Amino acid sequence: MTFPLDFAKIYFKMHKYTLDEIKRVLTNCSRPPKIRELARMMNVGQDEYRTFRRLLKDALSDGEIERLRGGRLVLQSYAGKVKGKLVVARSGFGFVIPDDHDEEIFISERELGGAFHGEHVIVELKHFRLGRSREGRIVKVLNRQGKQLVGKLEKDRHGWRLNPDDPRIITKIELENPDGFAVKPGYVVVVCLDQWRADYLPPTGRVVEVLGPAGTPGVDIDALVKSSGVPVDFSRQILTETRGIKRVIPKSEYKRRVDLRHLKVFTIDPADAKDHDDAVSLEKLPEGLVRLGVHIADVSYYVKSETLLDREALLRGNSIYLVDRVIPMLPEKLSADLCSLHEGVDRLALSVLIYFDSKALVKKYEIVESIINSRASLNYKEVQDCLDGKPSPKLKGYTGDLLKMSELAGKLKARRIKKGSLDFDLPEPKVVLDPEGNVVDIFRYPRFDSHRLIEEFMLVANCVVAKAMEAISAPILYRVHDKPDKLKINDFAELLSKMGYKFSFKGEITPKKFQRVLNHVAGKKEEQFVNKLLLRSLAKALYQPENIGHFGLAFDSYTHFTSPIRRYPDLHLHRVVKLYINKKLTSDAAKKLRGGLKNVGLHCSQTELQADELERESIKIKMVDYFYNQIGSVFWGTVSGVVNSGLFVEVDNLLVEGFMPYFSIGDDYYVYDEKKHQAVGRRLKKCFRLGDRIEVVVARVDKEKREINFFPAFKLGKRRR
Mean pLDDT, range 375-383, rounded to an integer: 94
Domain 148-214 CATH (choose: 1.10.10.10, 3.40.640.10, 2.40.50.640, 3.30.300.30): 2.40.50.640
Q: What's the confidence (pLDDT) of residue 113?
A: 85
pLDDT tens column, 322-367: 999 999 999 999 999 999 999 999 999 999 999 999 999 999 999 9
Alpha-carbon torsion 654, 657, 658, 661, what sign? positive
Look at residue 508 and tell me whether its pLDDT is greater than 90. Answer: no
Pairing of strands 120-125, 646-651: unpaired
Look at residue 157 and tell me whether its pLDDT is greater than 60. Answer: yes
Look at residue 527 and tell me whether its pLDDT is greater than 50. Answer: yes
| pLDDT-based confidence at residue 174 (cuts at 50, 70, 90) | very high
d(CA 490, CA 501): 13
Look at residue 700 and tell me whether its pLDDT is greater than 90. Answer: yes
Q: What's the confidence (pLDDT) of residue 260?
A: 98
d(CA 171, CA 119): 14
CB atoms within 10 A of CB 49: 13
Average pLDDT value for the chain = 88
Identify the weakest region by mean pLDDT among 93-102, 221-230, 345-354, 359-368.
Answer: 93-102
Mean pLDDT, range 221-233, rounded to an integer: 91
Q: What's the confidence (pLDDT) of residue 128?
A: 66
Q: Which of 84-93, 396-405, 428-437 has the highest mean pLDDT?
A: 396-405
Q: In which residue ranges of the chain is CATH 1.10.10 found?
A: 7-75
Q: What's the confidence (pLDDT) of residue 79?
A: 57
Give me the percent of the chain exceeding a pLDDT of 70.
95
Mean pLDDT, range 199-221, rounded to an integer: 88
Mean pLDDT, range 162-181, rounded to an integer: 87
Listed in sequence order, the residues at least 6 apart from 20 whose beta carbon sits closer than 8 Å to its beta carbon are none
Q: What's the confidence (pLDDT) of residue 5?
A: 47
CB atoms within 10 A of CB 25: 15
Cα pseudo-dihedral 142, 148, 152, 157, rounded to 10: 60
Look at residue 53 and tell me whether its pLDDT is greater than 50. Answer: yes
Look at residue 719 and tell me whether its pLDDT is greater than 60. Answer: no
Question: CATH topology for 630-719?
Answer: OB fold (Dihydrolipoamide Acetyltransferase, E2P) (2.40.50)
pLDDT tens column, 429-464: 888 888 888 888 888 777 889 999 999 999 999 999
Mean pLDDT, range 673-682, rounded to an integer: 85
Look at residue 17 and tell me whether its pLDDT is greater than 80. Answer: no
N-to-C CA span, the chain? 40
Identify the weakest region by mean pLDDT among 72-81, 511-520, 634-643.
Answer: 72-81
Q: In which residue ranges of the chain is CATH 2.40.50.140 found?
A: 81-141, 630-719
pTM: 0.84
pLDDT tens column, 571-624: 999 999 999 999 999 999 999 999 889 999 999 999 999 999 999 899 989 989
Question: CATH topology for 81-141?
Answer: OB fold (Dihydrolipoamide Acetyltransferase, E2P) (2.40.50)
Mean pLDDT, range 126-152, rounded to an integer: 81
Q: What's the confidence (pLDDT) of residue 10?
A: 54
Closest by CA to 4, choosing from 608, 552, 557, is: 608
Identify the weakest region by mean pLDDT among 64-68, 376-380, 453-457, 594-598.
Answer: 64-68
The yes/no answer on whether domain 7-75 falls in CATH 1.10.10 is: yes
Mean pLDDT, range 557-569, rounded to an integer: 97
Q: What's the confidence (pLDDT) of residue 295?
A: 98
Identify the weakest region by mean pLDDT among 87-91, 170-174, 182-186, 253-257.
Answer: 87-91
Residue 615 or 715, more confident: 615
Mean pLDDT, range 110-117, rounded to an integer: 87
pLDDT tens column, 645-669: 999 998 987 778 899 999 999 889 9
Structural contact between residues 614 and 230, judged by C-beta atoms closer than 8 angstroms: yes
In DSSP notation, 663-707 reads HHH-SS-EEEETTTTEEEETTT--EEETT-EEEEEEEEEETTTTE
Look at residue 714 and tell me whether its pLDDT is greater than 50. Answer: yes
Look at residue 497 and tell me whether its pLDDT is greater than 60. Answer: yes
Q: What's the confidence (pLDDT) of residue 62?
A: 67
H helices of 137-235, in order, are 219-228
Q: What's the confidence (pLDDT) of residue 6?
A: 54
Q: What's the confidence (pLDDT) of residue 178?
A: 84
